[in-house]
Structures are given as structure tokens and as C-alpha cells.
Amino acid sequence: MKPGPKPRSLKERFWEKIDVHKSNECWEWNAAKTSKGYGVIGDESGKMQYATHVLFYLRKGYWPPKGRTCNHHCDNPGCVNPKHLYLGTQKSNVRDREQRNRGNYVKGERNGKAKLTERKVREIKRLLKQGIMTQRELGRKFGVDPTHISCTNTGKVWRHIDDR
């Protein structure tokens, strides 16, 4: 019995799925993608991997370390141009997304889970700044946990509201 054709390598399969353009332009992944637009491809074992992680593997010879991700400078999840990618973490990726206002989250009182209004947040910040009430007292007054008052004060939540 004659053996079949040799399977194509991951490298060959990877590069045939990209439109390579100028080095400053996005190189779009033209194969399977996640629902969020990130390219995916099966590795040698058949396990699906992000195309950006495969690119990292092909260039470096090892997979991104545990807890690290290949993040985009270009905001295009389908891009695999190595000049548009950097090794980061999920946390740095989220921070980057928020700084560029790319998130699909709704801020403030338009968020259906919000327990406070912008007016109340301004009042909370004013009262804390003046030292009139403690976080615990404000939590009781506004019907939220004191931890939420603390997060409001530090800017972890409601950071888009100042205390004018």
C-alpha cells in the first residue's frame, strides 16, 4: 500500500491563511475565527489555538508563557501582523481596551446593574472629600456595600464621574 501525502506543517497551513500587506498594515486572518473575530487554527495535535499564539510559537519556538496573551496595538482581533502584537496579560489587555474606549460595557447609570446614579456618586464623593460621613455610613444611606463606596471613591468604579 502506497503512503498518502505528507501532512502540511503548521507553519505552511498558518501562512496560507493570511493576506500579508505592508509592514504597517493589518495582516488579516482569512480562516476560522472566534465569535469575537480572533483567528484560530488547529496545532499539530489538533488542539485549537489562537492564530496570534501560533505566530508567537512559529517565531519564538515556544508557546506564550502561562498567563500571557498576544495583545493587539491595532485593535483588530483578526490581525496577525507581528508588528501589531505584543506579549501581555489579560489584565493589560482589558486596561488597554478601557483606555481606548473599545469595551462593550455600559458605564454609569445606563448599566442595568447600577445601584447608584451620577448625582448620588457626586454626592458620595463630595461627602467623603469633606469628611462628613464614613464609607460605612454612606453605604447605609445609599443602600450599597461600603466596599462599593470605597471603589467609587478610588475610581475603580464610576471613574468617569468627578466630584465637582
Amino acid at 129: K
The pTM (predicted TM-score) of the whole model is 0.61
Please compute the mean of the pLDDT values over residues 88-100 and round it to a whole number.
85
How far is it, in rounded angstroms, from Cα 132 to Cα 123? 11
Ranges in the chain annotated CATH 3.90.75: 10-99
pLDDT at 9: 92
Pick the CATH number of 10-99 from 3.90.1200, 3.90.75, 2.120.10, 2.60.40: 3.90.75
d(CA 80, CA 19): 9
Cell numbers given for 35: 465569535
Query: What are the tens digits of pLDDT across the range 3-24?
Result: 777 788 999 999 999 988 888 8
Q: Is the pLDDT of residue 164 over 60?
A: no
Taking only the tens place, the pLDDT of each residue in 97-135 is: 777 777 666 677 777 778 888 899 999 999 999 998 999
